């Protein structure tokens, strides 16, 4: 879990619109948040065997992808990664403070005028999985991996997110956008 977050962004569109707030609001109204993570930190090493019951259905996975992307867009817009971090897994929080996350995404923050319009357009799109979602065990903890893309123009926005899945809640572990 050494490379929990990374991002590669680009674009030339400099228009900024107010859809970021709408994205966050829609995700909150959709009930896709979870504030508390009360699980144990037991870790006996990763395995690839997990029960089918450890895999959330596609609707839940897509809602979490949209929420994570919206939280990331809000973090870029406000230059404050507190909400993204607060909704992440214990492991993410142990590795990154909100300020450290901002430093990791410094290029995205610097280029936010070009990036935010594209991220705002995602409110009207559903993510498309490019690989079937998978679940593995890290000790006793299910870790769900989703890889896919949004059909943005001129080229798609690819994502790879990992979530810790416990007690019906998904908590961000890894965030990659390219």
Q: How far is CA 150 from the centre of its chain?
A: 13
pLDDT on residue 115: 93
Decide if 1 contacts 94 (C-beta within 8 A): no
Q: Where are the domains of the chain?
A: 18-35+45-177
pLDDT on residue 6: 44
**Quick one: CA torsion of 145, 147, 152, 154, rounded to 10 degrees?**
140
Specify the length of the chain in residues: 178
pLDDT on residue 52: 57
Identify which of 178, 75, 83, 96 has the alpha carbon closest to the alpha carbon of residue 130.
Answer: 178
Q: What is the pLDDT along the chain (178 residues), one digit of tens a residue?
A: 444 444 444 443 333 333 333 333 333 333 443 333 333 333 333 434 455 577 999 999 999 999 999 999 999 999 999 999 999 999 999 999 999 999 999 999 999 999 999 999 998 999 999 999 999 999 999 999 999 999 998 899 999 999 998 888 999 999 999 9
pTM (2 d.p.): 0.72
* 170 to 9, 55, 69, 90, 147: CA distances (angstroms): 25, 11, 14, 11, 15
* Close Cβ partners of 32 (under 8 Å, ≥ 6 residues apart): 63, 64, 66, 67
pLDDT on residue 41: 36
């Amino acid at each position: 879990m050494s490379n929990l977050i990374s991002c590669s962004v680009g674009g030339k569109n400099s228009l900024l619109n107010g859809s970021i707030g709408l994205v966050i609001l829609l995700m909150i109204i959709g009930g896709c948040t979870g504030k508390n993570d009360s699980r144990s930190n037991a870790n006996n090493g990763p395995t690839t065997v997990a029960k089918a019951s450890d895999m959330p259905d596609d609707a839940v996975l897509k809602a979490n992808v949209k929420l994570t992307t919206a939280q990331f867009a809000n973090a870029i817009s406000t230059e404050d990664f507190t909400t993204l971090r607060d909704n992440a897994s214990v492991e993410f929080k142990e590795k990154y403070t909100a300020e450290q996350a901002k430093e990791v995404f410094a290029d995205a923050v610097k280029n936010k005028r070009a990036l935010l319009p594209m991220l705002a357009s995602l409110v009207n799109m559903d993510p498309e999985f490019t690989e079937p979602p998978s679940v593995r065990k890290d000790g006793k903890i299910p870790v769900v991996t989703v890889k896919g893309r949004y059909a943005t123009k001129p080229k798609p926005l690819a994502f790879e997110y990992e979530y810790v899945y416990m007690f019906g809640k998904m908590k961000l572990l890894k965030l990659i956008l390219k």
